[in-house]
Amino acid sequence: MTTRDAPFYLRVMCETAQALSTSLEEQDVIQELLRRTASALNARAALVRVLSPDGSELIHAGSIGLSETYLRKGSVSLATSSVDQRVLQGERVVVPDVTQEPGFQYREAAAAEGLKGLIAVPLMVRERAMGVLRVYVDDTEALSEADIMLVDALADLAALVLEKVRLHQSLYRIAQALNSSLELQSMLSRVLEATVKEMGLKAAVIRLLDPERGVLRLVASYGLSETYLAKGEIHVERSPVDQKALRGETVVLYDVGAEPGFEYPEAAVAEGIRSVLVVPLKLQDRILGVMRVYSARPRHFSPVGAQFLSAVAHLVALAIEKAQLHAALQEKYEDLKVDLTELYRFLALG
């Protein structure tokens, strides 16, 4: 067993944390994690795989020390990889010989690559696994418990940085969508599409408040059927969820079919909606309406997810004001052209 002292582990942690914190690209974070982890353990190779959007596969996101032939073998199916199932449930898995492990999907490819020992740990953020870090070593018995704990800690560090980077990149892409057009309907549709894809959701809508009628008017949607959208207007007095949002609160419904406060629960269940997150569209001290996102599976939206959507909603509110001001100026410009035309006619007659 290799002997490493406490200062060694502390130095690796500090240097890795510093290196990861300066990265603003997901690929840079992953490669830095792999390089430093492999170096610290004198590992043969290391690999990061991330969950696919539907959660059925682990997709290659970065590697070190592995051949192109091995990497081209394909993604990892969770249905046939009990090792990764255990890891994604939060377990640290040590396999002395992957070529003899029934729960390892590509045993023949691993043998051809010369792989043997494996340490696999989850990339976890707030009790949610986003992927797996695998470290391949020649002899797992040569590793101490501290070595395995180091891999776990480095994976946790990287997962937090990856979440930060993903949020940063997501907001940037959504900001680009907001600046893509001054035509309100087109702009909002693009923003909703980007938000749904970035957050891994089913659908989203934006509704603006019509205070005279007491309804939330649909102005843009993404991912919802025409049948669902035609179910009827949202009446503020019948929707406690939206009443809270219009007071400036963020509202989460874990199970829309069982929790009170949602105006059309039966229609939502029929649409395949399970969880809902609602945030206000707030402009300084004025609330324009609400932004809702829908998940097809039960989901406890984290504070980070809620803050992210609130940031998007704030950008949307600013963009709506910008588009409305542009439309008002355009209307005044057209009126001015008409007035000038009439003036020229009058002068011509005179």
Does 162 lie in the same domain as 183?
Answer: no
pLDDT digits (tens, 9 = 90+) for 81-96: 999 999 999 999 999 9
In a domain, 34, yes or no: yes
Distance of CA 173 to the CA centre of its chain: 12
Give the tokens for residue 274: 């399970």
Average pLDDT of span 109-119: 96
Residue finishing a domain among 143, 166, 189: 166
In a domain, 216, yes or no: yes
- Opening angle at CA 260, ends 127 and 199, nearest 5: 35
Same domain for 160 and 11, yes or no, is: yes
- 334 and 298 in a single domain? The answer is yes
Q: Give CA separation, 235 vs 113, 210, 218, 243, 331, in Å.
A: 63, 10, 12, 10, 31
- Strands (E) in 69-226, as ranges, are 76-77, 93-95, 117-125, 128-137, 203-210, 215-222
Least confident range of 14-18, 21-25, 72-76: 21-25
Same domain, 21 and 86: yes
In 3D space, the residue among 182, 240, 185 whose CA is nearest the CA of residue 216 turns out to be 240
Handedness of CA 68, 70, 75, 78 (dihedral sign): negative
Q: Is residue 349 part of a domain?
A: no
* Domain edge (last residue) among 144, 166, 188: 166
How many angstroms separate the CA atoms of 135 and 137, rounded? 7
Residue 9, CA distances (Å) to 120, 121, 153 in order: 19, 17, 10
Count Cβ atoms below 10 Å from residue 301 Cβ, excluding itself.
Answer: 21
Instruction: Determine, yes or no, domain membership for 172.
Output: no
- Collapsing DSSP to helix, strand or coil, 271 comes out as helix
Shared-domain flag, residues 13 and 120: yes
Within this chain, do residues 288 and 314 fall inside the same structural domain, yes or no? Answer: yes
Could you tell me the residue range of the domain that residue 110 belongs to?
6-166
Residues 219, 133: one domain?
no
CA torsion, ordered 97, 98, 103, 108, to nearest 10 deg = -130
User: Rounded CA gap, 82 and 56, in Å?
Assistant: 13
Across residues 320-335, what is the average pLDDT? 56
Give domain status of residue 347, yes or no. no
Rounded distance between C-alpha atoms, residue 116 and residue 132, angstroms: 18
Residues 82 and 218 in one domain: no
Shared domain check, 147 and 289? no
Q: Note whether residue 245 is domain-resident.
A: yes
Residues 62 and 127 reside in one and the same domain: yes
* Contact present, 300 and 277 (Cβ < 8 Å): no
Under DSSP, the state recorded for 194 is: H
**DSSP symbol at 232:** -
Neighbouring residues of 132: CB distance < 8 A, sequence distance ≥ 6: 48, 49, 58, 84, 87, 88, 120, 121, 122, 123
Same domain, 157 and 24: yes
Q: Give me the pLDDT at residue 208, please.
A: 92
* Segment of 12-21, 70-79, 269-278, 340-349 carrying the highest mean pLDDT: 269-278
Question: Residue 188: what pLDDT?
Answer: 86
The three-state secondary structure class of 62 is strand
| Domain of residue 83, CATH code | 3.30.450.40
Domain count, the chain: 2
Q: What confidence category does residue 31 fall into, taking pLDDT thresholds of 50, 70 and 90?
A: very high
Tokens of 295: 């998940």
User: Does residue 310 fall inside a structural domain?
Assistant: yes
Whole-model pTM: value is 0.63
Residue 120 lies in a domain: yes
| 148: DSSP letter | H
Decide: helix, strand or coil at residue 131.
strand
Taking residues 156-168, what's their average pLDDT?
83
Residues 192, 109, single domain; the answer is no
